[in-house]
Amino acid sequence: MKKLTLLFLASLVVLLTACPNKGDDKTPEDIAKENLSVTWKVVTLPSSSPVGSFGEEFKQITMTFTINGTYSLSKPASVPFSAAPANKASGVWKFSTDLNQIILDEGTTEAKILNKETLSATNFIFHFQGKAPAKYTTDAVITYSMIP
């Protein structure tokens, strides 16, 4: 009986230590970083966005985020940085503490905050304070919808 008890205890120890937790230990920030870290292209500028009537040049915008906190922006010359998702062609990014904002180039004159509305592996919708081109001379809230 004593041997059986020892065998049982030894088996229990082996089972508890040999099988690592195979659950998903990703934090919400890890998941958000994974979702964001692709190349995004503009699909639509919702009609509520003041740049929505400016045509196809906005659909040529792409933005790539990397998991290590860098980004790059490609845009036609006709789209000013003030109406684009970033104020320069490349830089660094991070999430706000609550994961609701993507902060580009924090602490610099080129800083811009993208307010996340939707972020998944297949859809990224955000808005930011910018200036719409041509007829808009004051600040406007600009919304982008992007897909990978």
What is the model's pLDDT at position 116?
Answer: 97
Identify whether the C-beta of residue 56 lies closer than 8 Å to the C-beta of residue 76. no
Q: State residue 4's pLDDT score.
A: 52
Q: Domain-by-domain residue ranges, the chain?
A: 28-147
Q: Which is more confidently placed, 129 or 65? A: 65
pTM above 0.85, yes or no: no
| Whole-number Å distance between alpha carbons of 136 and 142 | 11
Decide: 114 and 128 in contact? Cβ < 8 Å: yes
Instruction: Give bridge partners of residue 130 from the DSSP assignment.
Output: 140
The span from the CA of 93 to the CA of 109, in Å, is 14
| Residues found in the chain | 148
Which of 4-18, 53-67, 69-83 has the largest mean confidence? Answer: 69-83
Of the listed ranges 45-49, 67-71, 140-144, the least confidently predicted one is: 45-49
Q: How far from 128 is each of 25, 45, 82, 103, 140, CA to CA, in Å?
A: 32, 12, 10, 11, 8
More confident residue, 145 or 64: 64
CATH architecture entry for 28-147: Beta Barrel (2.40)
The average pLDDT across 3-10 equals 54
Query: Rounded to an integer, what distance in angstroms lies between the CA atom of residue 133 and that of residue 5?
Result: 79
In contact, 67 and 33? CB cutoff 8 Å: yes
Q: Which residue has the higher pLDDT, 58 or 35?
A: 35
Residue 18 confidence (pLDDT) = 56
Given a cut of 70, whether residue 137 has pLDDT beyond it is no
